[in-house]
Amino acid sequence: MTATRPTDAAASAQDEADLALAIRAAQNAGALLLQHWENRDRLQVRHKRAGDFVSRADTEAEACLRDILLTARPGDGWLGEETGAAPAARRRWIVDPLDGTTNFLRGIGHWAVSVALEVDGIRRIGVVHDPLRRETFAARIAGGASLNGHPLHVAATSSLTGALFGTGIPFGGMGHIDAHAADIARLMPHCAGVRRMGAAALDLAYVAAGRLDGFWERVLQPWDIAAGLVLLAEAGATVTALDPADRPEQSGTVLAACPGVFDAFAAILRDQPGSRA
């Protein structure tokens, strides 16, 4: 007998249930992180590489997410920043338990929990939770995006000169430092400003919310962007990789903006002829 796929109505109901589960998991992990935030000076920290840290807060938050998500959906797969990948499955949770660890450890209040669900290679659920501000950005495929239950849309900005962008600046010995510095040098004369806030998942949520008009970065991991890509798509952003022939989730590069400035923004970042005029 051939297995049947769920109907649209059944898929939508499953997405709603999965989104509610993802929100609960992210908020529970966020509550745990807030406890560590109050005592962050006592955390044991180790270096993954230059400029990249992991602490007990990261590992405990990921354990919290895993317990909640896989207890509720025991047959699902897993990809976590700290624990890696579980055996492949049709459904896979992709999580970053603490995006912005360096900010967290330094007492800078820009960090978040990121939870996404991928089904048959398609990202269907995205949640980015900011515990400090009590903001939960959430989206499900074909169901729209929301912030604390209220509809979310990208900015209506139509002029590059008034646009504010976010990015992630490479650190340590990353090989693309010069390329990124060249990006900033090309873009800065044409826009209202560029922010480097240090938590890609939350930065992507800010584009979805219209707080930033666009964002770009190279060499990101799946857990950095999986939830944010769902938010962006459902909030109306235009999203590609830096190379338009690639996909962000495969290339690890993201170029996203509200539709009113995307073309001009992309032309500068891709250094197309006339992009600096």
Which of 151, 170, 190 is the endpoint of a domain? 151
Instruction: Report the pLDDT value the prediction gives residue 2, as an integer from 0 to 100.
Output: 41
Residue 73 sits in a domain of what CATH number? Answer: 3.30.540.10
Do 85 and 177 lie in a common domain?
no
Share of the chain above pLDDT 70, in %: 90
Instruction: Report the pLDDT value the prediction gives residue 139, as an integer from 0 to 100.
Output: 98
Q: Among 145, 139, 112, which residue's Cα sits nearest to residue 125?
A: 139
Number of structural domains (the chain) is: 2
Instruction: Report the pLDDT value the prediction gives residue 42, as an integer from 0 to 100.
Output: 79
In the predicted model, what is the mean pLDDT of residues 247-266?
Answer: 95
Average pLDDT of the chain?
90
Q: For residue 173, what pLDDT band results from cuts at 50, 70 and 90?
A: low
- Count CB-CB contacts under 10 A for residue 140: 25
Do 228 and 211 lie in a common domain?
yes
229 is a domain residue: yes
240 is a domain residue: yes
Summarised one tens digit per residue, pLDDT across range 65-117 is: 999 999 999 999 999 998 888 877 899 999 999 999 999 999 999 999 999 99
Whole domain around residue 182: which residue ranges? 160-269
Q: For residue 53, what pLDDT band results from cuts at 50, 70 and 90?
A: low
Which of 151, 185, 208 is the endpoint of a domain? 151
Q: For residue 257, what pLDDT band results from cuts at 50, 70 and 90?
A: very high
12 is a domain residue: yes
Instruction: Report the pLDDT value the prediction gives residue 41, as an integer from 0 to 100.
Output: 83
Which of 124, 151, 178 is the endpoint of a domain? 151
Q: Mention every residue, 6+ apart, whose C-beta is less than 8 A from residue 65.
A: 25, 26, 28, 29, 80, 93, 95, 97, 113, 115
Beta bridge partners of 217: 254
Q: For residue 264, what pLDDT band results from cuts at 50, 70 and 90?
A: very high
Q: For residue 45, what pLDDT band results from cuts at 50, 70 and 90?
A: low
Residue 177 sits in a domain of what CATH number? Answer: 3.40.190.80
275 is a domain residue: no
Summarised one tens digit per residue, pLDDT across range 181-235 is: 899 999 999 999 999 999 999 999 999 999 999 999 998 999 999 999 999 999 9
Q: For residue 47, what pLDDT band results from cuts at 50, 70 and 90?
A: low
Q: Mention every residue, 6+ apart, whose C-beta is less than 8 A from residue 238.
A: 256, 257, 258, 259, 262
Q: For residue 166, what pLDDT band results from cuts at 50, 70 and 90?
A: very high
